[in-house]
Amino acid sequence: MKQWADNGWLRPHKTSAQEVENLLLIVNRDLKDAKEGEISQDWRFGIAYNAALKLCTILLHAEGYKPERTLQHYRTIQALPLILGSSRKRDAQYLDACRIKRNTAEYDQIGVASKVEAAELITFAEDLRQVVLT
């Protein structure tokens, strides 16, 4: 993480209990919204992605860092195995693929995410929430 900060990819950040609580409230809201309501699978997927991203943000803040604006989502996700261990490398790869799919659905076309993909990401984010809380 220090090398990333030295590269200018991260900056020091002192988090607070209130900031973490606010982020967890966003996670809980997003997971609830992703599971309920009459919304498209793309939007459901995007909301679940946001929840997972916020969980990665909490981990990064707990390590004392905040990503710089350039490639913010990418770096936040890529920090996951650096913080939780190399066994989480596949999780970071999965979330990065979700990041790309979410960007496509958000900016380029509709019908990108399937019902199964949205459900998988919701489950992933719920599982990650348990890991982060632990």
Domains contained in the chain, number: 1
Q: What CATH number is associated with residue 16?
A: 1.20.120.330
Token reading at 45: 């997927």
Give the DSSP H/E element, type plus range, for residue 45: helix 41-62
Residue-number span of the structural domain to which 102 is assigned: 2-133
Query: How large a percentage of the chain has pLDDT more than 90?
Result: 95
Using the predicted structure, report yes or no on whether residue 82 has a pLDDT greater than 80: yes
Instruction: Tell me: pLDDT of 45 over 90.
Output: yes
Contact present, 74 and 66 (Cβ < 8 Å): no
**What pLDDT is stored for residue 46 in this prediction?**
97
Alpha-carbon distance 51 to 76, whole Å? 13
Q: pTM of whole model > 0.85?
A: yes
- Rounded mean pLDDT, 75-88: 97
Residue 37 has pLDDT above 90, yes or no: no
